[in-house]
Amino acid sequence: MSILQFDETLFVIEGPDKIKLKCTVWISGITMKQSFEISVYAFSVALFIIAIPSMLLADEPIRKKSAPPEIHSSWDDLVVGIKTKEDWNKRRPILKKRYLKLLRDEYKPDRPLLDLQIHEEKIVDGIYTRKLISYEVEKDERAHAYLGIPLNVKGKLPAIVALHGTYPNGKERIAGFEDNPDKAYLDHLCRRGYVVIAPDHFVAGHRIPKKGSYDTTAFHEKHPDWTSVGKFTFEHSIAIDVLETISEVDKNNIGAMGHSLGGHGTIFLAAYDDRIKASASNCGASFFRHNTNPEHWSRNHWYVYFKHLRSGLDKGELPDIDFHEIIALIAPRAFLDVSATNDGNPLTQRQRALMLLRVMDIYEVVGKPDNFAFFIHGKKHSISHESRELIYGWFDSRLKPLEVTKTHLIKK
C-alpha cells in the first residue's frame, strides 16, 4: 500500500483501479474527517486538469525587451514633409485656404455694424449680471444671446464664447434655467470669474425657422452658395466682436467651448478666428474619413452642413481637408479635445485617438506641446463633472493670471 500526503489530504492507493481520499472537511465551523473513493482514471483526469495552467504558463515565450515602435495611420498625411516650424508656416496657409473654401467663406455677407441692444437684465445670486442682448449679424438679421458679467470686478476679465448643442432653446440651457444643468456653462463660468456670451445658433431660439428648429431650407434659399458651417462660424466670430465691446473683457484672453454641435462649432471657430486664445471641444463631430456615413455632413433635408459636398460624397469622394488639418490650424493656440469611445461608431472614435496624436506632432513642431491635450472617456455623448472640470481648468490655466492656478506649500 502506497500513501501520498498533500497538506491534510491523504491519497491511499488501494489497488490498480481504486484510490481512497481521506481529508479534513470544515462545514459551518465543525471539523469532520471524511473519506471518498474514486477510480484511478478519475484521479488521473483531475490531476491533469489541475496541471493545465502550469503547462500553459510553461509554454509561454519569454518576453523580451523592446523599443517602442512608430505608430503609423492614415492621419500621417498631416505631418508629411513637416520637420520644422518653418515647414509648418509654409503648409498652414495652404490648409487655411482649403478650410475657407470648405466653408465657402467668399460668399459671406459684409460684416455689419453691431447695433448692440439690451432686452433684459437680471442679477443672479449677487454674483453676476445676466443680460439678454441682440446684435446684427447680417444687414436684415439679428442674433440673440445671453451675456453674463461677474459683479465686483477688479481689472479686466477673461471671456468665453459658449456654444450650445442641437437643442431648440440652446442659449437658455447654457444660461442654466432650462433642460440639463450639466450644460449651464454661462452660469458655471460666470461664477468662476469669466464674462460669457451664449449666442443662439442661427436656426434656433429667437430665429427658429417656419419649418422647425435646425431646418436650413430658408437659409439656403437666401444664401444658395454659402454653407451652414460658414454661416454659424461667421456669426460666432461676430460674438467675439461683441465681447470686445464689453469694458470688463480682457481682449487678449478670449476662449471658446461647446458640446456636440457646439463642440465642432468650437473647432470651426478657433480655426477661423485667431482671437480665440484657448478652446475646448466636447463630443464634437465625426470626421470625413473613417466614417461609415460622411453623407451626414451633406444631408438633403433638415440641417445641411455643407450642401455643396453632396455630389462628391455620393461618388465616395471626400473634401480636400479633414478635421486633423482643421484642428492643426489652431496651433500654437491652446486646444483641448474631449470625446468618448462609445459616442457613435466605436471604431471611428478610436480613429480619433490616432488623429489627435498627429495633431500633437504639429504642436510639438511649433514648440507649444503644452497647448494641446485630449481626454477620451467612456461616458457616451455627455459633458459630465470630470469633463467640465477639465475644460474649466484648461481655461483657468491659459486665460487667467498664473497666480490663480499656482500651488503653494503650507507650514509644517
What would the grid cell of residue 71 be?
505608430
- pLDDT: is 360 or 3 the higher one? 360
What would the grid cell of residue 337 be?
479635445
Cβ burial 115-127 (10 Å sphere, 16+ → b, else e):
eeeeeeeeebeee
Q: Average pLDDT of 334-353?
A: 96
Tell me the pLDDT tens digit for each residue of 166-219.
Answer: 999 999 999 999 999 999 999 999 999 999 999 999 999 999 999 999 999 999
* Domain 75-400 CATH class label: alpha beta
How many Å apart are CA 257 and CA 186, to the nearest integer?
11
Cβ-contact 355, 337 below 8 angstroms: no
How many Å apart are CA 210 and CA 216, to the nearest integer?
10
Helix intervals (H) in 39-184: 40-59, 85-103, 170-175
Q: Where are the domains of the chain?
A: 2-59, 75-400
Tell me the pLDDT tens digit for each residue of 55-88.
Answer: 555 678 999 999 999 999 999 999 999 999 999 9
User: What pTM, to 2 d.p., does this model score?
Assistant: 0.86
Local confidence band at 103 (pLDDT 50, 70, 90 cut-offs)? very high
Above pLDDT 90, what percent of the chain?
A: 84
Q: Helix, strand, or coil here: 147?
A: strand
How many Å apart are CA 11 and CA 348, to the nearest integer?
59
